[in-house]
Amino acid sequence: MTIKPIIILPDPLLKQVSEPVATVDDAVRKLADDMLETMYDAPGIGLAAIQIGVPRRLLVIDVSKEGEEKQPLVVINPTILKSSDERSVYEEGCLSIPDYYAEVERPATLTVEFVNRDGKMQTIDADGLLATCLQHEIDHLNGTLFIDHISKLKRDMVIRKFTKASKTRGTKAI
Ligand code: ZN
């Protein structure tokens, strides 16, 4: 497994809509494993393929608590079948927008259908942090970031800050 560099705002790839994964083969499983390792190393609780520059509908999540057994979840080509009218608010962050956090309101529960690491269709009913994390990562597959859910004023401030930082950082991802 390999730790991959994570792309950072304002990289235009983050706005790209990812394409479905055609078949779950060894290359896709290797990509999922690399993404899990990259996510654990960061550390984070979710990562979409586009965040390492691969525009495919694939994401990984692990919302297990520190000290608990790891619960890696590989989600390929997800579809949200239904989501609740009830909303919940979480303070979200993103590995592509380091050190920035903001409260985002989303449906509290949802049902997602997806293809798993073995290429099998699977359905998951999610609530709590897992529900938020799934929606955050599925957003990435559609070129949407969590800052697209906050006020324009706050969003513009974050984008300005990261655009300025990217100029001093140069083109190399660190
Ligand atoms: Zn993110």
pLDDT tens digits, one per residue of 56-84: 999 999 999 988 999 999 999 999 999 99
- How many CA atoms lie within 13 Å of 136's alpha carbon, on the beta-carbon side? 30
pTM of the shown model: 0.95
| pLDDT over threshold 80, residue 156 | yes
The pLDDT assigned to 167 comes to: 86
Q: Give the SS3 label for residue 145.
A: coil
Distance, CA 82 to ligand 1 centroid (Å)?
Answer: 22
Token pair for residue 76? 């390929």
Catalytic residues: 137
pLDDT at 168: 80
What is the H or E stretch that residue 92 is in? Answer: strand 87-94
Query: Cα of 120 to ligand 1 centre, how many Å?
Result: 25
Q: Whole-angstrom Cα distance, residue 60 to residue 167? A: 30
Q: How far is the CA of 51 from the centre of ligand 1 (A)?
A: 8
67 CA distance to ligand 1 centroid (A)? 23
Reported as a single tens digit per residue, the pLDDT across 111-153 is 999 999 999 999 999 999 999 999 999 999 999 999 999 999 9
Distance CA 26, CA 5 (A): 21
Average pLDDT over residues 72-101: 98
